[in-house]
């Protein structure tokens, strides 16, 4: 489409704002110029998985073609264009001058970094500007802060119940929870039985070969497995197709096995809609409403614990984490309650380790730019914390490796829930465990070099001695925590010899962590 010489309004669409349902697109206006940019600055602030870059670029390009096809005017900067080597600020100023723009408009960014940059752009522009809501989330940026005002702790469950009532989801006319219980988490912790055949769920096959070549052409630094095709949905239609398939074939088992891990499947019964939601191809509201409709229409196959577990992940956890982000930033990003400073083990970048749980979870992450929440929390995050890893390094890896990782959701999950760097804002205790939990929830341990039952000695699982070492090392800060009292009671009851052997084993492993 040939662009006009002048426009009244310039509207910026960021790479995670691909919402064709937004009010902006309710009508076509010839006086509006939209702009989408693939920017070098967005590739440089952290090293990304190549499939993450590919998914973003392909989704952005598809969205650009879509809005042009409806008659809108669009300036699109590919990563190979000269403009993409400039900053967001430089490009906005250039467009305003080139097209004699009189008003600059944008949707609220979901990262503090971009909020600050756009605030400066607004200040530097000599024209009027206007900020719009993204029309995506259930909650506003400040809703969680308002809800917990005056309270000492930020309990997810109370916020989740509030949202269920407010939006009338799985509640009766008296605002009581359907089935009599708000939360079926205890029924969401099942291991995959050996005889269970995991259903084959639909994935996409999107060609990113040209984008991969452009990434190499621009000498963008990346990691992860380069593939010709990626599995993530990158259009709204693909996202809806993936959702529809999941509701029929995945949701009947989701809640039951949402915490399970297995070498047999890289996604099990997870929906793969996190990328679609986080770039706003599809909204949490429509996903939840379609899922609840499916539950009511298929109650023979979908039980209440299955649907409640799914709703809780999106309505509860996702909105809660976003609220924490806006409530606690920018200080949240530098919190390091346990004062950890070790380097992230080198095998997080290569997958080369003898620990089967880590080998599988890391290689899956490198091969698919994906791991589900328990792999991220109780395998990858667990070991990083037991290793005493600097949370800055952990954040960098998590933000880079996963296609669905955007700072507002990654940071609170990683630094808060996973690494306990916030000292208990998100999680009431550190989410660390020995090998027992991993064996309970997976089939990883049965084919591992290390023995999950041993704390020390030949082939003792590193998770065991490192777990008790963590308990011992941080007792000054953690022993007063009521939820940790049982673990300290167990540790203190062990014989002096057992404690010594365990701590010596842990130190040996920590000294040779990159060779485990």
* Superfamily of 9-132 according to CATH: HUPs (3.40.50.620)
Residue 200: burial class (beta carbons within 10 Å; 0-12, 13-18, 19+): exposed
pLDDT tens, residue order, the chain (516 aa)? 578 889 999 999 999 999 999 999 999 999 999 999 999 999 999 999 999 999 999 999 999 999 999 999 999 999 999 888 889 999 999 999 999 999 999 999 999 999 999 999 999 998 999 999 999 999 999 999 999 999 988 999 999 999 999 999 999 999 999 999 999 988 888 899 989 999 999 999 999 999 999 999 999 999 999 999 999 999 999 999 999 999 999 999 998 899 999 999 999 999 999 999 999 999 999 999 999 999 999 877 899 999 999 999 999 999 999 999 999 999 999 999 999 999 999 999 999 999 999 999 999 999 999 999 999 999 999 999 999 999 999 999 999 999 999 999 999 999 999 999 999 999 999 999 999 999 999 999 999 999 999 999 999 999 999 999 999 999 999 999 999 999 999 999 999 999 999 999 999 999 999 999
Per residue in 23-50, pLDDT tens? 999 999 999 999 999 999 999 999 999 9
Same fold, 9-132 and 143-201+250-328: no
pTM: 0.95
Please determine, looking at this structure, whether the domain spanning 347-515 carries the CATH number 3.30.10.20: no
Do residues 58 and 208 touch, judged by C-beta distance below 8 A? yes
Per residue in 59-83, pLDDT tens? 999 999 999 999 999 999 999 998 8
CB burial of 301-313 (b: ≥16 within 10 Å; e: otherwise) equals: ebbbbbbbbbbbb
Secondary structure class of 49 (helix, strand, coil): strand
Do residues 214 and 339 touch, judged by C-beta distance below 8 A? no
Quote the distance between the C-alpha of residue 425 and its chain's center: 18
CB burial of 356-372 (b: ≥16 within 10 Å; e: otherwise) equals: bbbbbbbbbbbebbbbb
- CATH number of 143-201+250-328, picked from 3.30.565.10, 3.65.10.10, 3.40.640.10, 1.25.40.80: 1.25.40.80
Give, as one character, the DSSP assignment of residue 12. E
pLDDT score recorded for residue 84: 82
CB atoms within 10 A of CB 446: 11
Round to whole Å and give the CA distance between 444 and 385.
20
> 3-state DSSP: the chain helix, strand, coil percent, rounded to 5?
50, 10, 40
In the chain, where the domains are located: 9-132, 143-201+250-328, 347-515
Nearest to 73 by CA among 4, 18, 166, 12: 4
DSSP string of 227-256? -SEE-S--SHHHHHHHHHHHHHHTHHHHHH
């Amino acid at each position: 489409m040939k662009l006009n010489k002048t426009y009244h309004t310039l509207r910026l669409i960021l790479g995670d704002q691909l919402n064709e349902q937004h009010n902006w697109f309710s009508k076509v206006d010839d006086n509006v110029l939209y702009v989408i940019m693939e920017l070098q600055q967005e590739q440089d602030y952290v090293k990304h998985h190549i499939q993450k870059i590919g998914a973003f670029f392909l989704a952005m390009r598809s969205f650009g073609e879509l809005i042009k096809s409806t008659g809108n005017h669009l300036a699109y900067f590919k990563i190979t264009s000269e403009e993409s080597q400039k900053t967001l600020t430089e490009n906005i100023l250039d467009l305003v001058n080139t097209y004699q723009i009189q008003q600059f408009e944008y949707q609220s960014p979901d990262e503090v970094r971009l909020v600050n940059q756009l605030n400066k752009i607004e200040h530097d522009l000599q024209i009027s500007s206007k900020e719009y809501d993204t029309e995506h989330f259930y909650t506003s940026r400040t809703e969680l802060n308002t809800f917990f005002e005056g309270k000492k702790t930020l309990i997810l469950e109370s916020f989740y119940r509030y949202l269920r009532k407010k939006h009338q989801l799985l509640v009766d006319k008296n605002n009581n929870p359907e089935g009599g219980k708000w939360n079926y988490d205890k029924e969401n912790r099942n291991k995959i039985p050996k005889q269970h055949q995991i259903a084959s769920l639909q994935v996409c096959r999107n060609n990113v070969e040209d984008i991969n070549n452009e990434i190499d052409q621009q000498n963008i630094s990346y990691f992860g497995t380069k593939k010709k095709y990626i599995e993530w949905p990158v259009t709204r239609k693909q996202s809806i197709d993936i959702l529809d398939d999941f509701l029929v074939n995945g949701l009947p088992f989701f809640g039951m096995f949402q915490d399970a891990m297995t070498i047999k499947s890289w996604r099990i019964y997870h929906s793969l809609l996190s990328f679609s939601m986080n770039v706003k191809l599809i909204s949490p509201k429509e996903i939840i409403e379609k899922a609840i409709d499916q539950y009511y229409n298929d109650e023979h196959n979908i039980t209440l614990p299955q649907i409640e577990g799914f709703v809780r992940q999106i309505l509860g956890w996702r909105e809660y984490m976003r609220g924490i982000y806006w409530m606690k930033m920018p200080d949240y990003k530098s919190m390091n309650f346990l004062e950890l400073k070790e380097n992230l083990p080198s095998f997080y970048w290569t997958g080369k380790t003898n620990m089967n749980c880590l080998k599988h979870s890391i290689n899956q992450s490198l091969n698919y730019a994906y791991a589900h929440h328990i792999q991220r929390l109780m395998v990858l995050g667990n070991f990083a914390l037991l290793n005493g890893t600097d949370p800055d390094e952990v954040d960098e890896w998590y933000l880079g490796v996963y296609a669905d990782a955007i700072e507002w959701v990654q940071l609170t999950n990683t630094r808060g829930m996973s690494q306990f760097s916030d000292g208990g804002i998100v999680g009431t205790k550190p989410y660390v465990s020995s090998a027992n939990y991993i064996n309970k929830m997976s089939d990883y341990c049965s084919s591992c070099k290390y023995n999950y039952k041993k704390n020390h000695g030949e082939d003792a699982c590193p998770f065991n001695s490192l777990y008790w070492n963590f308990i011992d090392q941080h007792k000054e800060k953690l022993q007063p925590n009521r939820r940790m009292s049982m673990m300290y009671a167990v540790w203190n009851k062990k014989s002096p010899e057992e404690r010594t052997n365990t701590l010596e084993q842990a130190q040996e492993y920590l000294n040779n962590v990159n060779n485990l």
